[in-house]
Amino acid sequence: MNVAANAPSASVVKMPIDVVSDVVCPWCFIGKKRLESALALKPDIPVEVRWRPYFLNDWIPREGIGREQYLTTKFGSPERYKSIATRVAAAAAAEGLIYASDKMTRQPNTIDAHRLIRWAGDKAGAMKQKLMDLYFTQGGDLTDREVLVRAASDVGLDGNAIRDRLAGDIDVAEVTADAEAAKQAGVDGVPCYVFGGVLAVSGAQAPEDLANAIERAAADYAKRYAELGEAAAARPY
């Protein structure tokens, strides 16, 4: 038997891209779109995007807090955030996104949002996009369980099953452990992109820069895959 002929070639091996981010991080909102643009620049490199949880504000209680209270606690006052919001809105607009900070009234804890993304399986990217659109563009209250159920239904999940799951603690520990693992691995700012476990890029970089990183990492990942096998090569940290 010709083993080499039956081994998976680098051209068909999907390089994992682990995106560590939070649904209430505006630069993660922008960064997701920039990653999609970067992938379009490298259509010949097969990848698998995996969405990893991160808690941008792990001090916020599960029921969330008012937006004004949040801005006062984090920035000193809502007024001090206005100049930041203007810059974020401009960056979002350049990517065809709408950042409507004036519509946001609640600052949520995001454990439940990350649980939804985990449960969405191959629809995780769509689930994440739906939650971010709800929050940043529509001012949706992600502390409202029915808002989350409708969001899940909109991307094709079973709303009743999701409602039952959200009522319990399924995967709370797992999501928390995943978010903690990212911090222990040195991720202290998001979005953070880990390309094939061989190259990490922090921040919502320009699509061209992300595309270059994808290309550089793909060659190294192919070597790692050949040496370690799929399971080891796919580890993000």
**The pLDDT of residue 232:** 67
Domain holding 158, by residue range, is 3-233
* CATH number of the domain residue 29 falls in: 3.40.30.10
Instruction: Say how many domains are in the chain.
Output: 1
**The pLDDT of residue 223:** 87
Q: Three-state SS for 11? A: coil
Residue 9 has pLDDT above 60, yes or no: no
**Residues 6 or more apart whose Cβ sits within 8 Å of residue 194:** 17, 18, 19, 20, 200, 236, 237
Residue 8 has pLDDT above 50, yes or no: no
**The pLDDT of residue 41:** 98
Cα 136 from chain centre:
14
Residue 65: count other Cβ atoms within 10 Å of its Cβ. Answer: 17
Cα 83 from chain centre:
25
The 10s digit of each residue's pLDDT in 124-155 is 999 999 999 999 999 999 999 999 999 999 99
The 10s digit of each residue's pLDDT in 16-35 is 999 999 999 999 999 999 99
Instruction: Name the helix (H) or strand (E) containing 49.
Output: strand 47-53
- End-to-end Cα, the chain, rounded Å: 35
For 76, phi and psi rounded to 5 degrees? 105, -35
Question: Hey, what long-range contacts does 121-129 have (CB within 8 A, 24 or more apart)?
Answer: 123/155, 123/156, 123/157, 124/50, 124/51, 125/49, 125/51, 126/155, 126/156, 127/151, 127/152, 127/155, 127/157, 128/23, 128/32, 128/51, 129/32
If you average pLDDT over every residue of the chain, what do you get? 93
